[in-house]
Amino acid sequence: MRSLFKYFAAVSLVLVMCVQAKAQNPVELNIGYEMNIPSGSFRNYITNPAYKGFTAGLAVPLNDQLSLGLSVAYNDYYQKYPRAVYDEGKGSAISAVISNSIQQVPIMITANYTLLKKGFIRPYIGAGGGLNVISFDQYLGEYDNPQSRAKVTAEGEAGFYIPLSSYSATAIKIGANYQYAPYAKGINLDNWGIHAGIRFALR
């Protein structure tokens, strides 16, 4: 896991430095709130939406419409199931309450393209790929079995900007995304996300 982080961090740093050296526009900061909904096999473990989420990222505009950058997000999923009897195999069973607690921290290189240069509402599309740091903890009664992994992840998103000024990059950002998030053989933690936040220039 450490080697994956080192390679990803090195590639990300080189990418941002090269892009920033060529870009004449200021670096932009995006921050916002995010809600995520489990999809596919993820719903075998959690069906509740994750309301404790945030997203943040730095982007370097290459021109008036295209930007490249880095983003990080955090999503906290939790669900507690009623007491039930579970088969342990070999003719034995256990009666217990199961709780699943899953946190995801996707760290991605991103690209965004704004479809309209002007207008009160400016739609955009985006894509990203990188590493997803996953903490999966299942409680069987008071006993837990925590596992952490870093997996490759990718996402696509779409939404719109509402500029607050025609003289700066400051804008409200509202959008939705789908994250492809492998975890283990036969288990994916894919999810839909809805986010809202603000974008502004750092200089």
Report the 3 state secondary structure along the chain.
Answer: CHHHHHHHHHHHHHHHHHHHHHCCCCCEEEEEEEEEEECHHHHHCCCCCECEEEEEEEEEECCCCEEEEEEEEEEEEEEECCCEEEEEECCEEEEECEEEEEEEEEEEEEEEEECCCCCCCEEEEEEEEEEEEEEEEEEECCEEEEEEEEEEEEEEEEEEEEECCCCCCCEEEEEEEEEECEEECCEECCEEEEEEEEEEECC
Q: Evaluate whether 36 touches 191 at the Cβ level (below 8 Å).
A: yes
- In DSSP terms, which residues pair with 155 in a beta bridge? 128, 179
Is residue 95 a contact partner of residue 114, using CB atoms and an 8 Å limit? no
Mean pLDDT, rounded, for 175-188? 92
Q: Give the distance from CA 153 to its chain's centroid.
A: 9
Looking at domain 2-77+103-201, its CATH architecture is Beta Barrel (2.40)
Quick one: tokens of 37?
């909904």
Q: What count of other Cβ atoms lies within 10 Å of the Cβ of residue 67?
A: 27
Looking from the CA of 166 toward its CB, the CA atoms found within 13 Å total: 4
> What are the phi and psi torsion angles at 50 (to 5°)?
-100, 115
Per cent of the chain over pLDDT 70 is: 77
Distance CA 202, CA 98 (A): 46
Q: Which of 76-85, 147-156, 180-189 has the lowest mean pLDDT?
A: 76-85
Q: Taking residues 157-180, what's their average pLDDT?
A: 91
The full set of domain ranges for the chain reads 2-77+103-201
Report d(CA 186, CA 174) in Å as an integer.
32
**Lowest-pLDDT range of 104-113, 155-164, 194-203:** 194-203
Q: What is the pLDDT of residues 137-162, one digit of tens each?
A: 877 756 666 778 899 999 999 999 99
pLDDT per residue as tens digits for the range 25-61: 678 889 999 999 999 999 989 999 999 899 999 898 8
Among 64-73, 112-121, 163-172, 191-200, name the one with the lowest average pLDDT: 163-172
